[in-house]
Chain A
Amino acid sequence: MCGTTGLSVCLDAQRFIKLNAVCGIVFLLLGGVAALLLALTRWQTVHLLPVDWFYRLLTFHGINMLILWILFFEVAILTFTCTTPLNARLFSRKIAWASFGMMLTGAVMVDYIILAGQADVMMTSYLPLLAHPLFYLGIILVAVGTLIGVFNFFATLYVAKRDRAYEGSLPIVTFGALAAAIIAVVTLLHGAVVMIPTFTYAMGWTAQPDPAWYRLIWWGLGHQSQQVNVCAMVAVWYLLSHITVGARPINEAVCRTAFVLYVLFINLASAHHLLVDPGVGAAWKIWNTSYAMYLAVLASMVHGFTVPAGVELAMREKGYTRGIFGWVTALPWKNPAFSGTALSLVIFGFLGGITGVTLGTQQINIIAHNTLRIPGHFHVTVVGGTTLAFMALAYYVIPLIFQRDFICRGVARVQPWLFGFGIVLLAFGMSFAGTMGVPRRSWDIDAQGVYGPAAHLWLGVLGIGGILAFTGLLLFALLCVGTLFFGPKIEGRAMADWGTPPALAGSQPGSLANDHYATKGTIVLTLTFLACFAVYYFANWKALADVWPVR
């Protein structure tokens, strides 16, 4: 029984949450070191790395940040959400060991072979580029290991339902994790389908798979794995807004329906990587990146409304009712779990969401494809959104699971702000340099002799943002590792409070449940978001029209 939450904790699950979370943070740190070196190379004035190490570390960075850190931490989240909130035991310890062992073996194999210089193929490893067979085998092991972990999640859900460990519907955080797990199944199946023939080709046993087919199936792994993140991130938003402020979903059915829209449609976003490929037709491209994709975008906008609306409702019910935004100033901004969640939501929604939908439009994509605008977009979704949300979660998970309070709590309160600001700066640098045509995945742009001082200025902003974000990441890793070794032991008492807004005198929980105008502050924020969206979208159509001026 947890001394802080009063919830029953499955000790097997706790062990695997620890193992997966710690491994995830280690891979995050490794990928972060590579990120710093890459940012200092794209900053053309510094231009730190030689060409071979640039592409080697670009491969290393992508694999560690987009595959290893995310998948390990997500298995930790799946293990938590299918046990503790349901008062259930983990289905199988042996299966969990098999999953963890395969993932770790594969991850070490992939990282080793990249650093040994045998896999300078970047994260996408597009054929006909060819890496050492161990690279593909490592990814297969990670994918299959994660799939086994996802199976353990589903089996635990089945047993919990059968044994009536919980009544009624799944809690929303577990439902969000369920959506992530379903997307993970599709993702990992694509990973196995594309990597197995590529591995056998690398071994010399079979012919080379068709590069166009490879790209189609690979993006079923590469982009969909980021959609697993999105679901897990949103589930974390709901969990942390409840823990830190007492928020609850303003309409459970609508929130769950939004998760179902993710399950059904968000995977199709993978298609935008093939928008300039000749092998697939316009109907396939437009259906998958536009019409169907808008349903998933609708889901993100639903979550982007319901999470802050739930927070506003909770704050107003606690008595913070002054004006439209009086509740905002009373929020626990010094609580790193809350500030991390809020920053994650704003960065993901305002910057990542708006740019993502715009860049995914087939016509507009033609002026942005393979420029730095694309990494500018996904650094605010995957890093500013998901990674920051997962960091925020760690500020509660580590004390609860490891039974130690955080060290250097003042530094912890600053960390999400520093990391978030750094990532936003980095993404702005990438996006504006990309708007000027600076390509992604390029070691040197000076040799082309076509980029002026403005592009170099934005690459400098990218570099400074990278330094700040890495500093924030390093602080996070040091705080986590330091806490594991030196954090004050909790031993039965409640974990130290990061700060939650108290209920004011005369306030009443649930008093605004039927007040449809209680979320007016969130409505104003939503309208602001939509205005930004419209301006950015039409500005990009204008930029596209300028490509073919008619005079």
Chain B
Amino acid sequence: MNNEPKIHPWQKVLDNPWLLLVLGVLIPILSYTAWGWVELLLTKPALLP
């Protein structure tokens, strides 16, 4: 019989600094940096009048 108290899955996420580190680096880099960088790369140079 296992008497260990059950830990809520969200609590396991909160107690895992390495998972938070990976998500915390990945999401901003994808959402802000990579997406913004791609948009800049796709911007065509303006034509001079």
Contact = CB atoms under 8 A, between A and B. Distances in A.
Whether chains A and B associate is yes
Given A182-B25, A263-B24, A280-B39, A292 B31 contact: yes
B40 A210 contact: yes
Given A169-B14, A256-B14, A271 B36 contact: yes
Given A157-B17, A170-B15, A178-B17, A183 B36 contact: no
Interface stretch (A116-124, A128-136, A281-289, A495-503): A281-289
A264 B30 CA distance: 11
Given A169-B14, A257-B14, A264 B21 contact: no
A219 to B, nearest CB: 9
Contact of B36 (A210, A256, A284): A284
A279 B31 contact: no
Majority SS at the chain B contact face: helix
B33 A263 contact: no
Majority SS at the chain A contact face: helix
Contacts of A267: 27-28, 32
A427 interface: no
Contacts of B43: 212, 278-279
B36 to A, nearest CB: 5
Given A220-B33, A267-B32, A287-B31, A280 B14 contact: no
Contacts of B37: 213, 216
22 contacts: A154-B21, A169-B14, A170-B15, A175-B14, A179-B24, A182-B24, A182-B25, A185-B21, A186-B28, A212-B40, A216-B36, A220-B32, A253-B10, A253-B11, A257-B14, A263-B20, A264-B24, A264-B28, A267-B27, A267-B28, A267-B32, A268-B28
Given A169-B11, A186-B24, 10 more contacts: A154-B21, A170-B17, A185-B24, A185-B25, A190-B33, A253-B11, A260-B20, A263-B23, A264-B24, A292-B31
Interface of A: 154, 157, 169-170, 175, 178-179, 182-183, 185-186, 189-190, 210, 212-213, 216-217, 220, 224, 253, 256-257, 260, 263-265, 267-268, 270-271, 274, 278-281, 284, 287-288, 292
